[in-house]
Amino acid sequence: MSTAINPDDLKRQAALAALEYIKPGMIVGVGTGSTVNHFIDGLATIKHTIEGAVSSSNASTERLRKYGITVFNLNEVSEIPVYVDGADETNQYLQLIKGGGGALTREKIIAHLAKTFVCIADESKLVPMLGKFPLPIEVIPMARSMIARELVKLGGNPVYRDDFVTDNGNQILDVHNLEIMEPAKLEAQLNNLPGIVTVGIFAIRPADVLILAGKDGVRKIGE
């Protein structure tokens, strides 16, 4: 009799495997989401070995502080050796869609600064082409409708994320029906639209390592 795999168990396995990248004295970049919550729980077990963390969301900051882990303001930190975060989708080149939890802007800032970006996920997140997961885009509220019209011209179907305000006071459009064949190109193109704060494609700066947990165990790509 085969036992069903609990997706949350897979997230935990991927998250705990990322602890091997954490070395004594580090300030650790910490992402956001249910997979990262397992990573924070694991980080708490070695908290006396690290200097602290920088966090990509108010939710992660709260969880880190609950464990007594020091959270630094990014302006106090000049380098982040390792950033650990989840993803909504990844392709084989470690280009990602992120922002399902709405924390994409701070996530992209920390990913940019990080020397090594370790992405943690269950194997359902690995896809042949990005775009099945609706692409989150953080927008300045007054530009929302204008940007939505531009996204329709690109073949997308943007949906306003109702009753959601980002940690930066902005709104999110979730764009359905995009087949993202050239992720870095689309990311750059959308980056040029005024009013877009952050595009949830992480392809110009992809992950360096992907830790994937599946029914056959944990494997790493990119190392």
Active site residues: 107
Site string for ligand 5RP, 12-41 (x = CB under 6 A): -------------------xxxxx------
Burial class of residue 164 (count of CB atoms within 10 Å of its CB; 0-12, 13-18, 19+): exposed
Shortest distance, position 133 Cβ to ligand 5RP, whole Å? 9
**Cα 109 from Cα 35, distance rounded (Å):** 19
Shortest reach from residue 146's CB to ligand 5RP, in Å: 24
Kindly indicate which of the ranges 17-25, 103-111, 190-198, 203-211 contains the residues binding ligand 5RP, using the contact rule CB under 6 A: 103-111
Shortest distance in whole angstroms from residue 97 CB to ligand 5RP? 8
User: Is 104 a binder of ligand 5RP (CB under 6 A)?
Assistant: yes
Strands 89-90 and 196-199: what pairing?
unpaired
89 counts as binding ligand 5RP under rule CB under 6 A: no
Q: Smallest distance from the beta carbon of 185 to ligand 5RP, in angstroms? A: 21
Q: Which is nearer to ligand 5RP, 146 or 184 (CB)?
A: 184
By CB under 6 A, tell whether 101 contacts ligand 5RP. Answer: yes
Tell which residue, 169, 162, 58, 180, has the closest CA to residue 107: 58
Q: Which is nearer to ligand 5RP, 27 or 37 (CB)?
A: 37
Is the Cα torsion angle 184, 11, 57, 51 positive or negative in sign? negative
In the complex with ligand 5RP, which residue's Cβ is closer, 22 or 104? 104
Burial 6-27 (b: 16+ CB within 10 A, else e): eeeebbbbbbbbbeebbeeebb
Contact flag: residue 145 with ligand 5RP (CB under 6 A): no
- The continuous run of DSSP H or E covering 190 comes out as helix 183-191
Q: For ligand 5RP, which is the closer residue by CB, 148 or 198?
A: 198
CA angle, corner 122, sides to 117 and 128, nearest 5? Answer: 80
Token pair for 62 = 């709260």
Regarding 206 and contact with ligand 5RP (CB under 6 A), the answer is no
Give the residue carrying structure tokens 């963390």. Answer: 53
Residues in contact with ligand 5RP by the rule CB under 6 A = 31-35, 85-88, 98-104, 107
